[in-house]
Each structure stands twice: as structure tokens, then as C-alpha cells.
Structure 1
Amino acid sequence: MNDKTKIYLVAPAMLFGLAFFSGASAWCQNEARSEARINAPTPNVAAPAAAETYPPDPVVLSTKAANEAPEGSQWQSRNWHMQSTIVGQGYPSFRASYSAANSLPARGQARETVSLDFYGGYRLWNGAEFHVDLLSWQGFGLHGTLGIDDFPNGEAYKVGTRAPHLDIARFFIRQTIGLGGEKEAVPSDQLTLAGDEEYARLTLTAGRFSSKDIFDSNAYSNDPRTQFMNWALVADITWDYPADSLGYTTGVAAELDQSKWSLRYGFFQLPNQRNGFTAEAQYLMWPSNSSAGDFRFFHNWGMVVEGEHRFRAGTHPGAVRALGYLNQGEFGSYEAALSVPGADISQTYANRHTFGFGLNAEQEITRNIGMFSRVGWNDGHNEAWMFTDVNHSASLGISIKGERWHHPDDTVGLAGVFSGASRVNQEFLAAGGAGILDGDGALNYGVEKVVEAYYNHRFPKHLQGCLDYQFVADPAFNRARGPVSVLGTRLHWDF
């Protein structure tokens, strides 16, 4: 089946999905009304969101979205959870004056990704938890996750595979030390055990996990499995955050929390190859990966620090976070690559540092409406090592729960992103250089612009379905290509 045929199949699938969501929703409502006359409400149906609560506290590594009701707060000694997410995306043909190996194919394409996680948690002693996440993934992002810097699928890994692969994505110990005072209930979740913790606490985490588990959280734009799917809307796109090709690494983190503010610090291992794997991957993946790192933990590293202030605007909660990071490794230099034939940046590797800053804000407007924004910047002198080639970016969006149309667990989201490259990065791309995601062989520079809109519908029995549309102008900072319209569907199940 060629890519054009796949595109022809994607559009009917979208329409079928919309009809299916609507019909299934009506059927489920009718069934619920019938059962309500006979039986008591089932505990498996998601409860309505709480009216006036602060957004989920990222200190507990929660994956809950804004306004989502907790499953329960009874004390647990162990738990387990599962999730699976299937994403299909495609786009029709678009205008392109020229192309190269990293360019998004102009003829159109459709791709899918599948992830499956099994989470297990065990309470070791008072305040200490051990968690493990067994991940299976399969599929490819559009063009092998190349050609768009604000990439449209947050579930697409940079190492696609036709057959399912396995990875121990997370295994870590978290020790929480209470500092006295009032306590809050902690719900059972994929990476937390139900119980209670003091608002004032020190939390230490060590092992293999995602630095995004702790840093740069946002109640309305954080999880590509249930919220926005674009990379620039689930993270600070300018933060080249410590991670292997799957988004995980080994490291340590410390978090100091009070009722209205938090301070966080993390030190993590970087892969020794661009878009590579860290050293432990050779023991934790199946099939094993030959590009795993070399255990030079204190040679290739990333540090990150974040401060968070939580507040209320009237009765509505909000938060502001400021993040800074510093990475060290054998990075290539854009400026040095300009003097190399073909702008081959791999010929310029040397021990270098990259740093950057980001702001992240969220604010509840009404009980069912929230807004968010991220602004980020990095120095733009060295090549991107793990995430994207973006050097400065700003995003703004809104998230609306469906209570007004009698679907309180549904969500509509709309957001826009502007992302750009530094001057020397522009010169590098114009000279024919290739980044971690981009490289069209030439460059007519323009800021990459993205608009994403989605509707996420929650079915009974832990199932969610989503329709998504993304408009991408000047993909990979190039005015000679695009715009591109990306259509997407998502099916998410968790238990």
C-alpha cells in the first residue's frame, strides 16, 4: 500500500471515528440511564471532576490531567496499572520547492504508533516506594520522526520499529521525608501508591525514569496520551532534556515542597551519541541496542533546576514554573561545522556545554476552563543532542471540559506554537547541515508555526478516544515548504 492510498484511507477513518465516538457516547448514555433505574452506580465509571482544587502536584509524578478525579486515597502497600495508546496520523501532499533526506516527504504519508506499559509499585518502608515500568512500543512517527521540529506525535519515539520491542523504561526508588504540618491525600496512580503525605516534604528519587516525570509539568498540557499531542505542547521544546531515544535515563532528583512553592534539582546521564541510548539500555532492552552508552556518567550529563509558585486568582488555582538547565557532552558546534565540507557537524565533536531557560504557567479561568503557556530559550550554539533543533519558542493554549454539553469528562483543546532557530543554526541549515529532526539541504528561513486542536472523549471502562488536527506552517523553519495539515486519531486505555 503506497502512502497516497494510506492518505485516502485516513480521511474516511477520521469520519468513521467521529461517528463512532458520537454513536458510542449516545449508546453509553442510554445504557447508563437504563442501568441507573436498576442498579447502583458502578465504581468503574469516572467520577465528575472536583470543583475547586489545585492542579495535580507534579512532585508525586502523577500522570493525571487537570480536573480529573482521583481513584481513591486509601493507603496501599503495592499496586499495578496498565495503559495502551494507539495513535494514527497522516497528511496529504503539500508544496515543497526542494527536499533532502530529513525533509518531510511532500507526497503525503500515514503512520501509526502503539505503546503498552505495565506499571508496578511496592512500598519498601515508611516513606519509600519502588516503581517499575515495563514498556512495549511499535510503529513509526511521520517520516521516521523527521521533518517537523515541533513534531506532531508525542507518542512517536525516534527509534521506530515494525515489530514490538521491549524496554524497562523506569525503575526507581522514591523516598519522601515529611517536614511536619498538614497532610494531603495521594491517589493511587501509575507512579504513586495511595496514602498521605505532608505538604512540607523533601522527596528524593534515584534510578531510571524520565526527567519530565518531575520537571516542566503542566496540568493542561503535559500528557500526549490524553491531552495535546505536539511535542511543543507537552514540554518546553527548547529544553534538550536528558533522555535516551525513548525519553528515559538514569539520574537523581531532589524536591523541596511547601504548600505554595517547590524547588527541584536533578542530575542525569546523557547518551554518548546524538539520539542514542544510555549505557544501561544494553541490559534493559529487547532486542538489545548496540549504540548504548559507555557509563561515563560524569562526562556526559545534564543538570536541571526548577522553581514553582502556586497561587489562587480569586478561587481559581494557578502556577508558574521557572526552569534552567545545563548539559555537558561531546557536542558538535554549528559555527565549527560551517567550515567543514557539507556542514558535517559530526566532524566537530568536542567537550562542550549547552544551557537554556524556560517559563511554564497554568491558570484555571472557571471550573471547566484552563489556560496555559510555555516560553523557552537556549543558547543555540551547539547541535541538539536529544530532543529538537528549536532554540526559542512560545506557546499559548486553552483547555475546556465538556460539562456544558453534558460530557464533563470530555476535553476540547486549542493551542498555538511559534518556534525558531538561532542565527548560527540558520546558517548551518542553509549550508546543507542536518539537525536531529531537520535539514532540507537549503533554507528559506521562517519561524515554524503550529496550531493544534483536539477533542478527547472518555468512554466508560477506562477507554478514551481522540480526534486531532494540526496545522504546520514553515516546517523545519523553511518557508519553501508547506504548509502541512496533519490529521490524527488516538485511542487510549488505562487500568
Structure 2
Amino acid sequence: MKKILFLQLLLLSIVITADAQTKDTLSKSPFNFHFQLTAINQSHPAFHAPYSGTNSLQPAAEEALSLTTTLFAGARLWKGASVYFNPEISGGRGFSSAVGVAGFPNGETFRIGSAAPALYLARLFYRQYIALGTAVDTVADDINQVSELVPRKRITITAGKFAIADMFDNNSYSHDPRTQFMNWSLMSAGAWDYPANTRGYTEGLVIEYATPGWVVRLGTVLVPTYANGPTLDAHYSKAQGDVIEIQKNLTLGKHKGTIRLLGFRNVSKAPNYRDVIKGYTNHTDSLDVINGHKYGGVKYGFGINGEQELTTDLGLFFRTSWNDGQTATWAFTEIDHSGSVGLNLAGNRWHRPDDTFGIAAVINGISKAHRDYLATGGDGFIIGDGRLSNYKTENIAEAYYSARINNYLHLSAGYQFIANPAYNGDRGPVNVFSVRVHIAI
């Protein structure tokens, strides 16, 4: 533990020094360095639960702390080309070892495989811009973005290790649990079983065609060897995740907006719920959807994601997503259909322009086959109360306030109300209180 804490402080000191040295000449430097540290403390009081199972949120009062620190290093290679390297340290855990709620309240815990702090490689990828015109924009130095001239009309190729959600299903108001809403089903489309290992990363290729008004993205990446597993399946011809997104940039009056349409298809060892139930009732197979035994499991679906600036201070966003719900969830979370809507308000009216208040609501649901599997007594990798005799949609409301303390530090307080956790009307509701510290350099 002491060695890990020392390394965190060392990384922070390196980035602060680099930031101070390159602040005035950053646009000329071929290198950049950034750092983030996010600590989230959450608690929930005791709640009503007449029974619990293997993957239930524990009804006794709980408190949990998660921590992630990341070094973002980038280098400009030649015209339009750059490479990025992100070592990351994470530790802590979510409530009840991060199980018991499909829309789990801490979006940082999906990257954490164990409670002990661990150092690992989060991202290592190459990016190449190919100009399709002469017009360019100067893009400022940022996380995983060196300062450079980027063609307005272009093809972008990204290859290596990354989080597929870095490039798909983005939203200005609801996408980053380190600075925005913390709930899993608000940071990404809930029904998109986006390919990733336990910590949220994958390997593959993304190609993007972009103009000022339209963007089309295509991605193909690896999936885990078993549900929510740490190891990616190298048998690409038998197991992969494919995704396409079409983005239209809008302007209503003077206010910007964006609409994104996403489609996905995953192929893996994910078992079919009906087949597993049949094998279990016939005493020929176990009630297991975590460890698939054969390739060919297919999950497909779509998502619609919108954001619109209403005033200079106020923004509206929404998402809706659906998947077929026949094969087991393999990577993200156990949601087969989901809808969310929310508002984001900047603090100009109370003379805190860099503060943010957000409020949102989510409704999550699962397919009939998924329900029947849980009712039979099965567990997924995140939910399973031992039975499901009173199915209801999982309904979540979240509000947070983020205060900017200085150039590097933001403090947030949040509240989440979770009705029918894991789609079980016999359990809950759950009240979750959060405090978040975020340092970004």
C-alpha cells in the first residue's frame, strides 16, 4: 500500500512539474502529460429486503470508497499522427463488491477488479488523422490529445488498447463519472453491452469519417473470455464486438446540439438464457451464464443519444437503448432496455460559472428470458437475488453538485434514489449519498 501511494504522489509531482514547464510553449511541444485522481465515497443506510441472494446489494448500512489515478502521456509523431500511453492505479470497491444494482451507483468501480490498489495499463493507442480537405482547426492540448492542427474534414484511425466508450456514445452532460453523473446507466447507454474487460478496456480498431456537420464511426474490438472477465478473447474470428455510430451536429438558434444513433452486435461465448434454463430443468446443465462453453452467442441492439443546449447555462440530454436480451450480458451491465433524461445547469446565476448542478432520471428493464432466468434462481455477473417473483423496472434518480475549488480541484456531493434494485420489487428502495474528489492537471 505504501509503495502504491508513493507512486501516486510521484506521478502527480511529475505532471505538475511538466505542466509548469510547458505551460507557455505547449503548442510547440510534441509531448504532453496530464494526471487525474478521483476518489468517491458512497454510503447507503439500511433498507427493506426480506431476502438476499449471492449477487444482492446488502440491506445493512454500507460505506465504500473507490480511488483511481491515471497518467495521460501523449506524443506527436509526424503530421496527423500521435500515440498515447495511460498507466492507471485503482483501488477500493463499490457496495457489496459492486453487485446488486444493474444501474450501479459508482461508475468508477467497473474499472476495479479487487479492493487492493493495483497498477495496470489502461490505454496504449495510435491515432492518425487523414485530411480530406485543406481547412483545419487548432485543437488545444488536453487529456489524450496533443496540441495540433486537425482537418475539419477527415478520416481518423485509432488502433490499440482503449475504452470503446471513449469514442462512442459520448454526451457533453452525461458520460464521465469522474466529473458528471456517477450512475452506470447515466454514463453510457444502459443496454449497450459495450465490449470491455473488468476494468473497462479493450483492444481493437476504430475508423471515423468526420465533417463539420456529420460524423460516422465504425469500431471492431475484442470481448472478454467470460462474462465481465479480466482477459480479452484473442479468437477474433469467433468473438468480437462491432459498433457503428452516426452523429449529426445541430444548431437551434444560437445553441448547439447533437444527436447520435448507435448500433452494435457482439459475438462471444455468452449462453442463451432459454437454453440454460432448459438444461437446468432437465438436469443436464448448471444454471450458469458466466462461463460460456461454446462460441456463437450473439447480442445486438441500438441506442439513441441526444443533447441540446437550451440557454448558455442550461443543457438537456436523453438516451434510450435496447438489446435483444436473449443471450447473457457479457461485459457492461445487466440492462436490456433503458431510457434516461436529465438537465445540466452551470453556476453563472449564482456567480460560480465553473460549478455544475445536474439532475437525471433513468428507467432500466430486462427481457422476459432474462427475467425467467433470474426467477429460476440464476445469477448474472452483477445481479441475482436468488429469485425474482416481483419483477419491476429499476428506477433511478440522481442529482449532484460539482464545485470548482481551483484550477485543479473539484469537489462534488451527490444523491441517488434507487427503486427496485436488480428489478426486484420486494427489495428497496435504496438511498445513496456520495462525496467525490477529482483532481485533474
Separation (CA, whole Å) in 2 of partners of 1:417 and 1:332: 28
Please give the alpha-carbon distance, in whole angstroms, between the structure 2 residues aligned to 1:446 and 1:349: 31
Any unmatched runs of 5+ in structure 2?
A: 1-18
Partner Cα separation in structure 2 for residue 100 and residue 397 of structure 1: 32
Q: TM-score, normalised by structure 1?
A: 0.81
- Aligned counterpart for 1:258 among listed residues 205, 208, 211: 211
Cα distance in 1, alignment partners of residues 154 and 342 from structure 2: 32
Deviations, residues 24-60 of structure 1 (Å, cap 9, x unaligned): xxxxxxxxxxxxxxxxxxx99xxxxxxxxxxxxxxxx
Given the alignment of the two structures, is residue 332 of structure 1 paired with residue 271 of structure 2, yes or no?
A: yes
The match for 2:15 is: none
Give CA-to-partner distance per residue, 1:440-474, whole Å, 9 cap, x none: 11111000000000000001130000001000000
- The percent of aligned pairs where both chains have the same amino acid is 38
Q: Offset at 1:352?
A: 1.5
Query: What is the DSSP-based 3-state SS (H/G/I as helix, E as strand, rest coil) of the residue aligned with 2:109?
Result: coil
Q: For the Cα contact (< 8 Å) 1:145–1:158, is it kept in 2?
A: no
Aligned match of 1:242 in 185, 191, 195?
A: 195
How many Å apart are 1:359 and its aligned residue? 0.2
Instruction: Give the Cα separation in 2 of the matches to 1:329 and 1:428.
Output: 19
Which deviates more, 182-191 or 351-360? 182-191
| Alignment partner of 1:309 is 2:262 | no
- RMSD (CA atoms): 1.8
Maintained 8 Å contact 1:400/1:413: yes
217-226 or 269-278: which moved more? 269-278
Alignment match, 1:373 = 318
Spell out the pairing of 1:68-467 with structure 2 (5 A cutoff).
Answer: 74-157=27-110, 159-279=112-232, 293=233, 295-339=234-278, 340-341=280-281, 343-345=287-289, 349-350=293-294, 351-443=296-388, 444-467=390-413
Contact in 1 for aligned 2:226/2:291 (Cα 8 Å): no
**Aligned counterparts of 2:293 and 2:307: Cα–Cα separation in 1:** 39
1:164 to partner: Cα distance? 1.2
Letter in 2 for 1:247: G
- Output the CA distance in 1 between the equivalents of 2:82 and 2:107: 28
Corresponding letter in the other structure for 1:320: I
Match of 1:488 in 2: 434
Question: For residues 360 and 195 of structure 2, what CA distance do their matches in structure 1 show?
Answer: 26
Total equivalences in the alignment: 414
TM-score for both structures, normalised by structure 2: 0.91
Partner amino acid, structure 2, of 1:105: Q
| Cα distance in structure 2, aligned partners of 1:84 and 1:199 | 33
- Name the aligned partner's letter for residue 345 of structure 1: V
Structure 2 match to 1:68:
none
Q: Is the 8 A contact 1:120 1:132 kept in 2?
A: yes
What displacement does 1:98 show? 1.3
Deviations 1:418-449 (A, max 9, x none): 00010111111111111121111111100000
Q: Per the alignment, do residues 441 and 275 of structure 1 end up closer, same or farther by CA in structure 2, a change over 3 Å counting?
A: same
SS at structure 2 position matched to 1:338: helix
Q: Is the 8 A contact 2:226 2:292 kept in 1?
A: no
The amino acid across from 1:467 in the alignment is: A
